């Protein structure tokens, strides 16, 4: 029996280690899938915004004097924003930054459209246009909520793969850190409002 004791101990350690690694893999898969599903909600919110833009542009085009340059800028920014796609299972900080940059360009173009919109009383009075703008504002709020939820979902996943002993196995099992949404550069400065 004594000569089998080392073999029994080694087999026991391997079984316990295998059970731990299997449990770790399963919990990381669950966390990873939650993060991927939440990323889908983020993309869905951005897609909702992109889908509203043709209606807004179409309504604004009905006003002949409305600035074509602004409408063109919005259309081009929408095209760039919808062209960037990210694999939710492998979101790198660089990919997320590129995604944020094109979405930020669209946000900027929409802000310019809304500023120009204020100068056209007939367009401001158009109920359809007002409802589209209200829907856009609700969508922007939804985007912010979904981005925050994404970060909240990614946090426990990232924490788990960094903690000992999971960090020893996470990389070998194919689990890498996910990127967070971060504030855009310059957003820490409050805008200057003049009356």
- The CATH number that applies at residue 147 is 1.20.1440.20
| CA–CA distance, 131 with 162 (Å, rounded to integer) | 46
Q: Is 66 a member of any domain?
A: yes
Which structural domain range is residue 62 located in? 50-84+93-154
Count of domains observed in the chain: 1
Each of the 195 residues of the chain gets a pLDDT tens digit; together they read 778 888 889 999 999 999 999 999 999 999 999 999 999 999 999 999 999 999 888 887 776 566 778 888 889 999 999 998 888 887 888 888 899 999 999 999 888 888 877 777 777 778 888 888 889 999 999 999 999 999 999 999 999 999 999 999 999 999 999 999 887 665 555 444 343
Q: Which of 81, 85, 78 is nearest to 52 (CA)?
A: 78
* Within-domain flag for 163: no
**Helical ranges in the chain per DSSP H:** 5-61, 68-83, 93-117, 121-125, 127-162, 166-170
**Position 121 in a domain:** yes
pTM (whole model) above 0.75: yes
**77 is a domain residue:** yes
């Amino acid at each position: 029996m004594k000569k089998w004791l080392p073999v029994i101990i080694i087999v026991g350690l391997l079984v316990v280690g295998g059970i731990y690694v299997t449990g770790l893999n399963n919990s990381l898969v669950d966390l990873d899938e939650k993060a991927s599903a939440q990323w889908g909600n983020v993309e869905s919110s951005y897609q909702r915004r992109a889908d509203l833009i043709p209606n807004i542009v179409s309504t604004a085009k009905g006003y002949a004097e409305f600035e074509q340059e602004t409408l063109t800028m919005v259309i081009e920014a929408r095209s760039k924003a919808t062209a960037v796609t990210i694999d939710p299972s492998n979101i790198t900080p660089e990919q997320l930054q590129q995604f944020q940059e094109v979405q930020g360009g669209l946000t900027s173009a929409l802000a310019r459209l809304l500023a120009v919109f204020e100068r056209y009383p007939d367009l401001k009075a158009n109920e359809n246009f007002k409802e589209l703008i209200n829907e856009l504002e609700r969508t922007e709020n939804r985007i912010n909520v979904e981005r925050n939820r994404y970060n909240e979902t990614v946090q426990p996943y990232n924490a788990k793969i960094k903690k000992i002993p999971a960090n020893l196995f996470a990389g070998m099992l194919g689990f890498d850190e996910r990127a967070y949404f971060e504030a855009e550069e310059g957003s820490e400065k409050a805008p200057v409002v003049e009356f």
